[in-house]
Structure 1
Amino acid sequence: MSRSDEKPAALVPFAVPQFTLTDYSKFFAAGALCCTVTHGGMTPIDVVKTRIQIDSEYKKLNLLTGARHVIRTEGASGLLTGFGPTAVGYLVQGGAKFAGYEFWKKQFTQIAGDQESAVKYRTAIYLGASSVAEFFADILLTPLEATRIRLVSQHGYANGLVSGFTRLAREEGMRGLYAGFLPILCKQIPYAIGQFTVNEFCHELAFRSMSEETRRSLSGGSKFAIALGSGVVAGFAAAILSQPADTLLSQINKGHGPTGSMPHRLAVLAREAGFKGLFAGLGPRMVMTAGLVAGQFLMYGAIKDALSAPPGLEIHKEDK
């Protein structure tokens, strides 16, 4: 048979899992718990990081000396400022983000149509799924994040989550609650991209050289090491990608910058801060984010197992 008569190889349909509403509720619960525990636990580091970004007294301090300054001036309880809105905000955001990522990754994989196309365009699938999931999750997070930053940046603003949220809503309404929506999108979407996409590729790199049999027989310690290493690298990527917008978000929620549209305010603040200013506090935030992301993925997997949730969809490229 001549080459022109040869039939092209049939495309292999992708075996996409058909998740149920119960499955997504388990993904939501696992994401909510892993995010609220890790973000809540990192509150002291986040307090110091935020102060370094917005308070001139902290500009030359590092994580350790900044924590000492908080304790000296406000007492040890000062390191837990904003714990309430952090815990609640990332409870709802984490659930929506992780369940949303599973949902949108499945949708975009189905749009690809076959296994070869899905693997070829897996980066676009990861980017799209993480971005769309984060967008909807941030609608839930933004008012609580605005409350947290007010509590941290304005000493005496309120006693906690309820009083802070109520005061902000009463005095500034929806405009104040969502003043940081655009910068939080600019922060959280790159964060989610780094978190999920880099984690996917780290796992792919680890698994690519293994046979299917070796992978199935991995010990618990090996699985833990791969998940931990992937999470740490993904955390570093998430911190670096989202740091400039994180700094601007802190400034916006403190009321800094000119009046006008949000893009104009962000542009002015970015020019005033400069490259160095936009990355102020990156060191402490990288430490915090590496711990956050690694902890989240480890806990997410453990909670999913405890809830008997199905494994997520994998579209990793295999070595030939």
Structure 2
Amino acid sequence: MYSPAFYAACTAGGIASCGLTHMAVTPLDLVKCNMQSEVTQVKETAPIDPAKYKSISSGFGVLLKEQGARGFFRGWVPTLLGYSAQGACKFGFYEFFKKTYSDMAGPENAVKYKTLIYLAGSASAEVIADIALCPFEAVKVRVQTQPGFARGLSDGLPKFIKAEGAAGLYKGIVPLWGRQIPYTMMKFASFETIVELIYKHAVPVPKAECSKSSQLGISFAGGYIAGVFCAIVSHPADNLVSFLNNAKGATVGDAVKKIGMLGLFTRGLPLRIVMIGTLTGAQWGIYDAFKVMVGLPTTGGAPPVAPVEEAAKAIA
């Protein structure tokens, strides 16, 4: 099953699951970024009125009043392209590293230490995925939180590079790793564990006897629960990423001083829990639906039912 065609299918599924879902929740992300960034104008004239984004409802109201319905999707192009690239690397390399580390551990240890393998595989994949995402994320945050900076990626990217140089696109890479690596480790390890527990304790029949629609429903449920944990563990770094990408020349120390330690953990958290829970559930649902479509088993819960030869033929 672990052929080039298999990894290509997982990569394509990752593109669909991450790119489309992140683009769909652009309005939520836009409000969240503005809630986080209203205090980040350390060395620039603040383009955001601090009184406007005190809550989720007021944030949506401000956007609708000032920019109309189209304003809810400002920054959708860098979001789509950036998270498509990230998803390709995240899911494709996760499957690769999971297999590689399992082979290194050997059959017995691969089962005994499966959670550690999930954690190591997902962390390794995310390091690569964030290198692909970081330039798009930098432009996205600037477009979303500084009205008038640019319309989108086509004019925002050259403007960003002109102002801060190409290296400026990666100034947020360390906080991005700080946000995304714990997020992805939680996303994959908790999902695999939750799905296994659902099949073991909540479903009266083995996975092999469940319909494909039931399996996909379990994938969504497991993904949503995993997403709640993901949002909590990665939220402080998410605030740092928004801060650094929005305030020219700012440092992590500036962020801690301005936002405060409590603010790093709580600012915008309820909205992010809703957003990431829904996002992660949808991502696993789409990813596993794509795998089913090309003849592969859904993720987690049980070994593949079909012979590996049949799965390989289905995606060849």
TM-score, normalization: structure 1? 0.85
The match for 1:168 is: 160
Change (3 A) 1:211 1:277: closer
What are the Cα deviations for residues 274-296 of structure 1, in whole angstroms up to 9, with x where unaligned? 23311200011110101110000
AA matched with 1:266:
V
The match for 1:23 is: 6
Q: Percent identity?
A: 36
Matched residue count? 292
Change (3 A) 1:107 1:184: same
1:61 aligned counterpart, secondary structure? coil
Q: Displacement of 1:220 after TM fit?
A: 4.0
The yes-or-no answer on 1:46 pairing with 2:29 is: yes
Q: Displacement of 1:269 after TM fit?
A: 1.7
The correspondence of residues 137-216 of structure 1 with structure 2, limited to 5 A, is 137-209=129-201, 214-216=206-208
What are the Cα deviations for residues 73-123 of structure 1, in whole angstroms up to 9, with x where unaligned? 222222111101000001111011001110001011111112x31122112
- Distance in 1, matches of 2:234 and 2:27, equals 20
Change (3 A) 1:58 1:93: farther
Contact 2:27–2:73 (8 Å) recurs in 1: yes
- Distance in 1, matches of 2:62 and 2:26, equals 16
The match for 1:308 is: 295
Unaligned stretches of 5+ in structure 2?
40-49, 304-316
The match for 1:61 is: 54
Change (3 A) 1:191 1:147: same
Contact 2:34–2:53 (8 Å) recurs in 1: no
Unaligned stretches of 5+ in structure 1?
1-16, 259-264
| Bigger-Rg structure (1/2) | 1
- Distance in 2, matches of 1:257 and 1:167, equals 16
Q: CA RMSD in A?
A: 2.2
The yes-or-no answer on 1:131 pairing with 2:123 is: yes
Q: Displacement of 1:37 after TM fit?
A: 0.8
1:157 aligned counterpart, secondary structure? coil
The correspondence of residues 250-261 of structure 1 with structure 2, limited to 5 A, is 250-255=242-247, 258=250
The match for 1:297 is: 284
The match for 2:42 is: none
- Distance in 1, matches of 2:281 and 2:298, equals 18
Q: Displacement of 1:313 after TM fit?
A: 7.4
